[in-house]
Amino acid sequence: MTSWLDFLLVGLAAVAGGAVNALAGGGTLITFPMLTAVGIPAVAANVTNTVALCPGYLGATFAQWNDLKDQQQRLWLLVPASVIGGLMGGILLLNTGEKAFRALVPFLILLASGLLAVQDPLRAWLVRRSSRSGSGSMSQTSVVLPVGLAAVYGGYFGAGLSVIVLAVLGLVLDDSLTRLNALKQAVAFSVNIAAAIFFLFSGQVVWLAALVMAVGALIGGVLGGRLAGKIKPSALRRIVVIIGVIVSIIYLVR
């Protein structure tokens, strides 16, 4: 990033990403490509994006704190698994060469776009499942390994992590969508904060970009909250998925 225009573009992308995250999810599919578009190497862009978006994950977790207070046993199981997985993903990222990671980027974005595309059907399935009593949930400890594996992915790239975690929780735990969603937020925050703290000492964070993004994402989150109810999340999600597919094709061509 060498000019005020670069910072402006990154800031606007962060505002858009923050609003999209508040309304439908998938903001990383906007912010990460913009960081690479202004000349930041792919690994550094991913690291910077992770650090910059931490406040958003924190806010989302506190917003659903009332639904987490009586899930302490699950938190004791899943938060350590999430932290360890996030750290492992961060270590894996920093040990992936720039060229190799850039080659993986289009496929990671396609994966994230696909996960975002199935989010509505997944939620509908979870609602149907939770409405059936006695659907036979497995042991709560059985959710630790799949959440840990999802956390590795989250520490490595992160886009679409919430969808993966919600799917895993819904398959293993028999509970309401509201409580599972709150647990998902705690897991996503734990993964993100663990990876971000690790990245602080990597020398890969572009701090000016991270600060601009953090402010932009906060503004976008507020705007998204005010627009809730006026914009259909499903329609916005489809737009973000289309953007993600187009961006992945651009990366492949380049």
Model pLDDT, residue 225:
67
Please report the sign of the dihedral spanned by the C-alpha atoms of residue 180, residue 70, residue 225, residue 220.
negative
Regions in the chain scoring below 50 on pLDDT: none
The structural domain count of the chain equals 1
Using an 8 Å Cβ cutoff, are 28 and 53 in contact? yes
* Residue 39 CB neighbour total at 10 angstroms: 11
E-state strands within the chain:
none
Model pLDDT, residue 152:
96
Query: Rounded to an integer, what is the distance from CA 161 to the centroid of its chain?
Result: 5
- Tokens representing 171? 């398959």
C-alpha 236/C-alpha 254 separation (Å) is 27
Phi/psi-derived region of residue 159, left when phi > 0, alpha when psi is between -120 and 50, beta in every other case: beta
Residue type at position 229 = G
Residue carrying structure tokens 């606007």: 12
CA-CA-CA-CA dihedral for 184, 195, 53, 160, to nearest 10: -50
Using only C-alpha atoms, what is the Rg of the chain?
17
Using an 8 Å Cβ cutoff, are 159 and 112 in contact? yes
C-alpha 110/C-alpha 28 separation (Å) is 12
- Tens of pLDDT, residue by residue over 46-77, are 999 999 988 777 777 777 788 888 888 888 99
Model pLDDT, residue 34:
94
C-alpha 250/C-alpha 36 separation (Å) is 12
Using an 8 Å Cβ cutoff, are 10 and 206 in contact? no
| Domain limits for position 204 | 4-253
Model pLDDT, residue 130:
65
Using an 8 Å Cβ cutoff, are 229 and 28 in contact? no
Using an 8 Å Cβ cutoff, are 42 and 111 in contact? no
Half-sphere CA count of 152, side-chain side, radius 13 A: 7
Model pLDDT, residue 101:
94
Q: What is the pTM of this model?
A: 0.84
Instruction: Give which of 28, 253, 43, 44 is closest to 162, Cα–Cα.
Output: 28
Model pLDDT, residue 24:
67
